[in-house]
Amino acid sequence: MKTFCGRANPTTGALDWVEESEEYDYHQEIARSSYADMLHDKDRNEKYYLGIRAAVARVKSRGQQAVVLDIGTGTGLLSMMAVSAGADYCYAVEVFKPMAEAATRIVEKNGFSDRIKIINKHSTEVTVGPEGDMQTRANILVTELFDTELIGEGALPSYEHAHKHLVQEGCEAVPHRATVYAQLVESERLWSWARLLPLRVGGREILPPPEMGLCAGAPSVCDIQLSQVPPRQFTTLSPICTMFRVEFSQPVSSAPRQYTVPFPAVATGQAQVVLSWWDIDMDPEGTINCTMAPSWMHPDPDKYPWRDHWMQCVYFLPAEVPVTEGEAVSLTVSHDDYSLWYNLDKCSQQGGDSEHGVCRPMCTCQAHLVWTRPRFGELNDSRRTESYTQALRSLLNPDSVCLSVSDGSLLPIFAQLLGAKKVYSLESSGMFKQVIERVLQASALSGTVQVLESRPEQLAASWRAADKISLLMGEPYFSTSLLPWHSLYFWYCRTALAEQLCKDAIVMPHSATLCMVAVEFKDLWRIRAPCGSCEEFDVSAMDEMIQRSLDFRESREAEPHPLWEYPCRALSQPCKVMTFDFHQCVPEEPMKSQGSVALVRKGRCHGVALWMEYHLTDDITVSTGLAGPVSEKGNCEWSPHRKQGVYFLSSPWDSTGESQDTVLYTLTFHPHNGDITMEFTAAASD
């Protein structure tokens, strides 16, 4: 059965009606999921197996049958571990139907279908009894319900229900417990993700609205690969604090709670950020431990078990708090049934936990609802600001009539402060409009920039002919963009506004270039590596699902990834593969680019990284990808503000580095929908 879904096209801005089949969820939930990453997480899998084997042995030693309940079974891997470890029967619960179907095939392929029952329900809908889904309550509870924040996938309500209705009192649990840790730090880099900081342009200061400084910030967790934030980029202000534990073998409550840990500050500084992670003990004694601590906490960083399905958390305090070395302070973590948040108290020194006074913080200034954390970092980047102000200084004159087309951009404020005659800012939503107007008000610039909420084609129809635009500018940045080239929406806006531009109007940036480099990833390749077999179990049905979902699409696609979090080596020189001229309107015919890139370094080529470079003037270019030259060894430094595109080769290619291996590319830009279809193939040169 075919259905049609309306989607806003991030490049053209138009509403596209896309035909989808019943397999749409495969693409959304499977091909871009972390199942492959979990299956390749050897540390996780080994410790789960050791914990399950020990739990089965403890139950058997009491003369009982081992009946396992596996909630969120996914591929069925943990259930198969349980049966292999001697469990008599296993109930494997999986709510997502395509995943439950895959688990059924995997269990059958491995010969466990007589002792593993796949139940395609949410665990809270599972029934126990002669006519129920389970014949009896389980005495071993196995789960993998955790996310980077530990409880964000609803672990607490699921455990609470399971203890009440699905497992025996005093059951064994794998994992047995979880512990949440936190460390208070000062970090200029991390704090720049939390709020807009003051900046100077043209001798004037642009200030954040006062309400932004009082705002609790974005309610969602900031989950990152904290291993890529080296200790030199923050000052430690506290010891590593054990904030709270959850014992999974005992009844679990999903009620809101808070836990306070007092400590003396270990250094003087501005308390801004809390770094947090957790670990799980697979057994009651804590001898089988799986930790999410960043690599710089590991005794041997080279043996650090990388994973992307569980990372680390960064929490931002509601406001900076100055602390002095030796000063007594208290860190409080609060949680509801799905999320955590932190506060710092310089008065109370009483530790412990409480069920009172827990209220989840929410954004009240609107800025955190429209600007993402990387976007805050981008707006606060002084070097980037200098690039735009230098470009504007060279392009502006006292008669300039400027229109800025970007979401929530400060460019129109820059242009006004640098002497433009008139400045207009085109915003895509009323919320963006309000945030920019509040920044103008806080900076005593109200009325100097006219902020418009309109689509480009609507603005074109209502624009006054006497006010022709002499400078059309953009970063470009749009909140709907996922891949780097989605910001070509600026080009479509420029085309829609062609009649409103002066004959000799300046467009900034005047062009954009799509760039690429062939790369070897240290770890990111694991998320797309074939599953095949995991430990001694055949889970190739996962590969079938992923391939099926990818084949459903007309062509292979690039994926957005923040590459500053995922180290890689360049195996080729960076190269420009397609250029878009913003002096001209979007063409009617497709643009095509073909060529090859030599692999000049030895290594395993997993794919290519792609990004855009925007040419503000002939001399000033802003990159959304590489933030500097590639080192002699191929090490790359990536912009932390934007995601880059990653195209994984269907099979990795081992390069000799002797210029006899190449990556062939074919790119086609389709103006009617803004898509860039692409194909990359590694091959030996003739």
Whether residue 630 is contained in a domain is answered as yes
Whether residue 349 is contained in a domain is answered as yes
The per-residue pLDDT for range 85-109, each reduced to its tens digit, is 999 999 999 999 999 999 999 999 9
Residues 157 and 214 grouped into a single domain = no
**pLDDT higher at 511 or 660:** 511
Q: Of 307, 335, 365, which residue sits at a domain end?
A: 365
Residues 83 and 211 grouped into a single domain = no
- The closest alpha carbon to 443, from 201, 194, 208, 200, belongs to 208
Please report, for the domain that includes residue 516, its CATH number: 2.70.160.11
Q: Is 21 in a helix, a strand, or coil?
A: coil
Query: How confident is the model at residue 361, as a pLDDT?
Result: 84
Whether residue 636 is contained in a domain is answered as yes
Angle between helices 77-84 and 42-61 (to 10 degrees): 40
Location of structure tokens 């420009």: 576
> Is 427 annotated in the active site?
no
Say which amino acid occupies 180: V
Domain count, the chain: 4
Measured between alpha carbons, how far is 76 from 116 in angstroms, rounded to an integer?
9
- Ordered DSSP codes for 497-524: TGGGEEEEEEEES-EEEEEEEEEEESSG
**Region 14-31: what's the mean pLDDT?**
55
Residues 551 and 440 grouped into a single domain = no
Q: Single out the catalytic residue among 101, 153, 453, 457.
A: 153
Residues 311 and 392 grouped into a single domain = no
Residues 426 and 534 grouped into a single domain = no
Residues 334 and 197 grouped into a single domain = yes
pLDDT of 145 strictly over 80: yes
**pLDDT higher at 360 or 647:** 647
Q: Single out the catalytic residue among 94, 144, 186, 557.
A: 144
Any idea how long the chain is?
Answer: 686
pLDDT of 32 strictly over 60: no
The per-residue pLDDT for range 593-646, each reduced to its tens digit, is 999 999 999 999 999 999 999 999 999 999 999 999 999 999 999 999 999 999
Whether residue 17 is contained in a domain is answered as no
Residues 476 and 487: beta-carbon distance below 8 Å:
yes
Whether residue 401 is contained in a domain is answered as yes
Residue 443 has φ and ψ, to the nearest 5°, of -95, 10
Residues 667 and 635 grouped into a single domain = yes
What count of Cα atoms within 13 Å lies in the side-chain half-sphere of residue 107?
Answer: 29
Whether residue 532 is contained in a domain is answered as yes
Residues 91 and 69: beta-carbon distance below 8 Å:
yes
The per-residue pLDDT for range 376-394, each reduced to its tens digit, is 999 999 999 999 999 999 9
Measured between alpha carbons, how far is 183 from 599 in angstroms, rounded to an integer?
43
- Ordered DSSP codes for 456-484: HHHHHHH--TTS-EEEEE-----TT--SG
Sequence-distant (6+) residues with CB within 8 A of 300 are none
Cα torsion angle, 46, 48, 51, 56, sign: negative
**Region 130-148: what's the mean pLDDT?**
97
Measured between alpha carbons, how far is 260 from 244 in angstroms, rounded to an integer?
9
Determine whether 128 is exposed, middle or buried from the number of CB atoms within 10 Å of its CB (0-12, 13-18, 19+).
middle
Is the omega angle on the peptide bond into residue 476 within 30 degrees of 0, that is, cis?
yes
Tokens of 361: 């913080």
Angle between helices 77-84 and 97-109 (to 10 degrees): 30
Angle between helices 540-552 and 97-109 (to 10 degrees): 140
How remote is the C-alpha of 49 from its chain's centroid? 29
Domain coverage including residue 524: 511-684
Cα-based angle 682, 484, 631 (whole degrees, multiple of 5): 60
Residues 615 and 502 grouped into a single domain = no
Please report, for the domain that includes residue 484, its CATH number: 3.40.50.150
Sheet strands side by side (includes 469-473): 450-453, 422-427, 401-405, 469-473, 501-508
Query: How confident is the model at residue 686, as a pLDDT?
Result: 61
Q: Is 377 in a helix, a strand, or coil?
A: helix
Residues 86 and 157 grouped into a single domain = yes
Measured between alpha carbons, how far is 369 from 366 in angstroms, rounded to an integer?
5
Residues 340 and 385 grouped into a single domain = no
Residues 213 and 358: beta-carbon distance below 8 Å:
no
Residue 519 has φ and ψ, to the nearest 5°, of -135, 155
**Region 265-292: what's the mean pLDDT?**
98
Average per-residue pLDDT in the chain?
92
Whether residue 53 is contained in a domain is answered as yes
Whether residue 24 is contained in a domain is answered as no
**Region 144-160: what's the mean pLDDT?**
95
Sequence-distant (6+) residues with CB within 8 A of 553 are 27
Sheet strands side by side (includes 67-71): 116-119, 89-93, 67-71, 138-143, 167-174
Burial string for 449-472 (b: 16+ CB within 10 Å, else e) reads bebbbeebeebbeebeeeeebbbb
Q: Of 486, 508, 530, which residue sits at a domain end?
A: 508
The percentage of the chain sitting over the pLDDT mark of 70, rounded to a whole number, equals 91
Helix (H), strand (E) at residue 161: helix 155-165
Query: How confident is the model at residue 553, as a pLDDT?
Result: 40
Residues 164 and 78 grouped into a single domain = yes
> Is 23 annotated in the active site?
no
Residues 662 and 604 grouped into a single domain = yes
